[in-house]
Amino acid sequence: GLVDLAKTSASNTFTGDQKFTGGVSLPANTAYKGIGLQAWFDYKQDKDDTLTALSGKDVAGLLSYLGLTSAAKTDAKNTFTQKQTFSGSVALPSDTTLNGIGLESLFDSKLDASNALGTGQNWVDVTASRTAGVTYTNTTTRPICVSIPETADGQRGLYVGGVLTAFARGADSDSTLFAIVPPGAQYIFSGAFSSWAELR
C-alpha cells in the first residue's frame, strides 16, 4: 500500500536546477524551451550523422558529400590566351598542348636537352694520360668527344668500338682526328700525336 512519493501524473513546471536519482520516465509530450524532447533528439541525431559522415574526409570528399562541385574543375576544353595563375594542384589531361605541341613531347625534349652532348661537360687535356695503341673505355654515362691533333707521317687512325671513325695519311700532313664515343664504348688511336683532348 505504499506510494512512490517521486511519482506524479500531474503537469509540472521546474524553474530551477533539478536532480533526480534512479530512473526518470518522461511522457512523450515533455518539452524543453518549448520544443518537444523527441524533436531535440532527432535534431541531435541528424547532427551526429553529419559529423560522422564528414569525419576523415579530404576536401574532395567534403565537396562530394555536400553535393558541391569544385569551381576550378572543368571537363570542357579550354584555350588560354593570356597568362594564368593556379593555386593548389592542377591535373592536366594527357592531350594538353602548348603552342600546338603536346606537353609530353615538350617534357621529353626538355629531358633529352639536359643530357645533350656538351651540356654540363668540359674539354679536358688528357695528353699526359694517353698513349697511342692503348684501348680506353668511356666509363661515363654520357657520350664524350675525342680530339687528337697529329703531326706524324704515314697512316693515323681513331677507332671507336672497333670501327675506324677518323683517318689521316701522308707525309707532312697535319690534321686533327675527331670522334664521339658513346657510354661504355672503347676507343683507340694508332699513330703519333702532339696532344689529346676529350669533352667529358
pLDDT tens digit sequence for 4-62: 555 666 666 767 677 766 666 767 677 666 777 666 656 555 555 665 666 666 666 66
Residue 183, CB half-sphere, CA atoms under 13 Å: how many? 5
Higher pLDDT, 122 or 173: 122
Say what the pLDDT of residue 121 is.
Answer: 93
Question: 123-199: what fold?
Answer: Jelly Rolls (2.60.120)
Higher pLDDT, 1 or 148: 148
Task: Please tell me which of 45-59, 76-90, 167-181 the model is most confident about, judged by mean pLDDT.
Answer: 167-181
What is 108-157 written as a DSSP string?
HHHHHHHTSTTTT--EEE-GGG--TT--EE--SSS-EEEEEEE--SSEEE
d(CA 118, CA 140): 13
CA 89 to chain centre: 11
Among residues 61, 62, 97, the alpha carbon closest in space to that of 79 is found at 97
Between the alpha carbon of residue 98 and those of residues 89, 102, 155, 182, 195, the distances in Å are 19, 6, 53, 33, 48
Domain ranges of the chain: 28-70, 123-199
> Is the pTM higher than 0.75?
no
Say what the pLDDT of residue 1 is.
Answer: 47
Say what the pLDDT of residue 79 is.
Answer: 72
Higher pLDDT, 59 or 183: 183
Say what the pLDDT of residue 32 is.
Answer: 65
Residue 93, CB half-sphere, CA atoms under 13 Å: how many? 9
| Contact (CB, 8 A) for 32 and 21 | no
pLDDT tens digit sequence for 90-139: 777 777 776 677 766 666 666 566 677 888 899 999 999 999 999 999 99
Q: Is the pLDDT of residue 173 over 70?
A: no
Higher pLDDT, 22 or 163: 163
Say what the pLDDT of residue 175 is.
Answer: 84
